[in-house]
């Protein structure tokens, strides 16, 4: 997707970024908020091994400040998703033609570097320049629409990366990908074809089809979509999501449970179980309610500690999962301890030495992370 126009990463929501079954990768304009922007969604089974954004030319070069490029390495090929600059009013010297040409030149250089490293490359996106008169409506003059420098920069790309839609539809002359929203151009199909899928030579044999999908609701976009189908594309070996993936965005991570919360819920449930019948008796016999309250207080002081120190055992990002079998043993030990305390009480109501030792053992188990061995 190109020209997302999101103001910043902070405005990105989980509903948009974390679509079920997909990872997403985003870039945003740094200088002009809500301008340009590019996003790539990848099915989780094809999770990229690496990703880059705004990485054309030198890192601090101005062509990298408008959020126009997302690169994802899927193993079988590198996908370069771009939104090339519009040159603007060509009658005035606004510097945007030079900016656009430098962007297209840097795009080709980036793709060439991947090919030199033995990678296949797919370039997709809005390049903001048509390739020939056949790619613009007959009411427009192709020669007047673009400068010689723009056309030369595009042609340099097309010399090494195949415009696969045109290769499959060599005679088509009325298929376009964008229309002027200020007029009724879409109704009369008066548009231009400036959105591309460009392939390195090694991928041509895998192509099944490439089509322009212009039947989408106009409100979705002033552009049509392109659909490329490839055969025999294998995912990379299993690996964790790479650094720029939406799956690694901390603010979208689901809250992790902790040992403390597990036992806090248990204590709350136990307390509710005790207090419910007590409340019922209190309504009919206030004296019995006082006895129940004393019993609850005694159980609390003699059972599992109400606030165990479990700071060392909290489950967080990057920590090993908890062995649930171990937690069952701890809960079981606590219940057994309570039973043995009751059985070991002297007539004076004191806990036996054996019961005290087992209570201390359980307290220690709460505080030591190693009690819960990694799965």
pLDDT by residue (tens digit) across 266-325? 666 566 555 555 555 555 555 554 444 444 344 444 444 444 343 333 333 343 343 434
- Helix (H) and strand (E) counts in the chain: 9, 12
Q: Is 356 strand, coil or helix?
A: helix
| Mean of all residue pLDDT scores within the chain | 79
Q: What is the 3-state secondary structure (H, E, C) of 166-186?
A: HHHCCCCCCCCCEECCCCCCC
Q: Are 375 and 320 in contact (CB under 8 A)?
A: yes
Lowest-confidence region among 47-51, 186-190, 280-284, 344-348: 344-348
**Which of 1.20.140.10, 1.20.1060.10, 3.60.10.10, 3.40.190.10 is the CATH number of 9-252?**
3.60.10.10
Burial class (CB in 10 A: 0-12, 13-18, 19+), 40: buried
Record the pTM: 0.69
Residue pair 60/21 in contact (Cβ under 8 Å)? The answer is: no
Give residue limits of the domains in the chain: 9-252, 259-371
Quote the pLDDT of residue 345: 44
| DSSP 8-class letter at 219 | G
Banded model confidence at residue 84, pLDDT cuts 50, 70, 90: very high
**Would you place residue 264 in the very low, low, confident or very high pLDDT band (cuts 50, 70, 90)?**
low
What are the C-alpha distances in Å from 84 to residues 106, 107, 118, 146?
11, 9, 25, 14
């Amino acid at each position: 997707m190109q020209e997302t126009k999101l103001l910043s990463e902070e405005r990105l929501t989980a509903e948009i970024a974390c679509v079920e079954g997909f990872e997403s990768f985003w870039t945003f304009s740094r200088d002009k908020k809500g301008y340009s922007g590019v996003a790539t969604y990848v099915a989780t089974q094809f999770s990229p091994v690496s990703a880059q954004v705004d990485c054309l030319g030198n890192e601090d070069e101005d062509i990298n400040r408008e959020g126009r490029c997302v690169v994802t390495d899927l193993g079988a090929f590198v996908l370069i998703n771009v939104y090339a600059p519009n040159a603007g009013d060509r009658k005035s010297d606004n510097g945007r033609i030079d900016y656009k040409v430098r962007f297209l030149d840097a795009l080709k250089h980036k793709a060439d570097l991947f090919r030199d490293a033995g990678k296949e490359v797919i370039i997709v996106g809005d390049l903001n320049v048509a390739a020939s008169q056949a790619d613009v409506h007959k009411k427009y003059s192709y020669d007047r629409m673009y400068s010689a420098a723009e056309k030369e920069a595009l042609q340099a790309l097309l010399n090494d990366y195949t415009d696969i839609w045109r290769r499959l539809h060599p005679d088509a002359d009325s298929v376009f990908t964008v229309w002027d929203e200020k007029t009724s151009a879409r109704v009369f199909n008066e548009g231009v074809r400036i959105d591309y899928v460009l392939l390195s030579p090694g991928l041509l044999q895998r192509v099944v089809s490439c089509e322009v999908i212009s039947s989408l609701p106009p409100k979705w976009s002033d552009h049509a979509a392109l659909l490329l189908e490839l055969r025999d594309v294998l995912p990379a070996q299993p690996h964790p999501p790479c650094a720029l993936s939406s799956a690694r965005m901390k603010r979208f991570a689901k809250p992790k449970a902790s040992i403390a919360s597990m036992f806090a819920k248990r204590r709350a449930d136990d307390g509710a179980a005790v207090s419910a019948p007590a409340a019922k008796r209190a309504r009919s016999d206030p004296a019995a309610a006082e006895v129940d309250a004393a019993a609850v207080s005694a159980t609390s002081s003699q059972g599992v500690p109400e606030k165990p120190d479990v700071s060392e055992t909290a489950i967080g990002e990057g920590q090993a999962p908890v062995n649930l079998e171990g937690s069952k043993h701890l809960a079981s030990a606590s219940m057994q301890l309570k039973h043995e305390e009751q059985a070991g009480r002297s007539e004076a109501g004191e806990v036996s030495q054996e019961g005290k030792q087992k209570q201390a053992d359980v307290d220690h188990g709460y505080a030591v992370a190693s009690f819960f061995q990694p799965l």
